[in-house]
Amino acid sequence: MPKIIIPLKPKNLAEAKKLISKAGKAADIIEVWLDGVEDLNQAKVAAIVKLTKKPVILNLKDKKEKGVFRGKDSERFALLTKSKAAYVDLPLSFPAKLIQQFRKENPQTKLILSFHDFTEMPSIQALRQLSKKAIQLKADVIKLVGFAKKFSDNLPILQISHELAETKKEFLTIAMGEKGEVTRSITPLLGGLGMFALLDAKNKTAAGQIPAKELRQLWEKFEE
């Protein structure tokens, strides 16, 4: 069964504790967007990871990823390293030297290397090149996200999902937007690690997200 991943955007430790407790009832994995946390430092990052026994994905999104973090790459690295999180998500465009250093210093953490296009869907050729780069950088999980303007824009994401599944590589693939909602249920069934699901309407982080309960029930039907 694919994993239900619930993304959260806390503003402080108290809110993180409340949201993580609520999400833990439905999630297999909890993703925490750290960029909105006030006065963020390594101690707070480590404290957030310790709030749950569930695997945690740490994400520190900058302006290019629709986040609010405005620090340098080196600052981003310093905040995410030594957190002991199950996963850390870094952009595929992150400096290769820092990616290599992160892997060396955090052998217990799985590295997600991600690409986002918030305006359109890359071609299958472009997605293949991005996948190749992520594999060369030794990503543990490859995350590829595009935006679906029309229903046919789902096809490149479905194709790359099939190809990644053939390589036995863990992946997260999504077509954002209402036209891409179908990929949120299908790509995990093609072999993806799981999918980001909605905790509640107040904590929505992307268009097209499916409530966690509905997504699990849908997958269960395919398991029958």
Assess whether pLDDT exceeds 70 at residue 207. Answer: no
**How far is CA 23 from each of CA 3, 27, 143, 193, 200, rounded to the nearest angstrom?**
13, 6, 22, 18, 9
Count Cβ atoms below 10 Å from residue 89 Cβ, excluding itself.
22
Average pLDDT, the chain: 94
pLDDT digit string, tens, across residues 56-112: 999 999 999 989 999 999 999 999 999 999 999 999 999 999 999 999 999 999 999
**What is the enclosing helix (H) or strand (E) of 105?**
helix 96-105
Q: How confident is the model at residue 189 (pLDDT cuts 50, 70, 90)?
A: very high
Give the pLDDT band of residue 205 (cuts 50, 70, 90). low
Q: 135-170: per-residue pLDDT in tens?
A: 999 999 999 999 999 999 999 999 999 999 999 899
Q: pLDDT tens digits for 16-38?
A: 999 999 999 899 999 999 999 99
CATH code where residue 17 lies:
3.20.20.70
Would you say residue 185 has pLDDT above 80?
Answer: yes
What's the total number of domains in the chain? 1
**What domain range is 104 assigned to?**
3-223
pLDDT-based confidence at 223, cuts 50/70/90? confident
Cα atoms found within 13 Å of the Cα of residue 206, Cβ hemisphere only: 28
Other Cβ atoms closer than 10 A to 125: 9
Per the model's pLDDT, the better-predicted residue between 204 and 81 turns out to be: 81
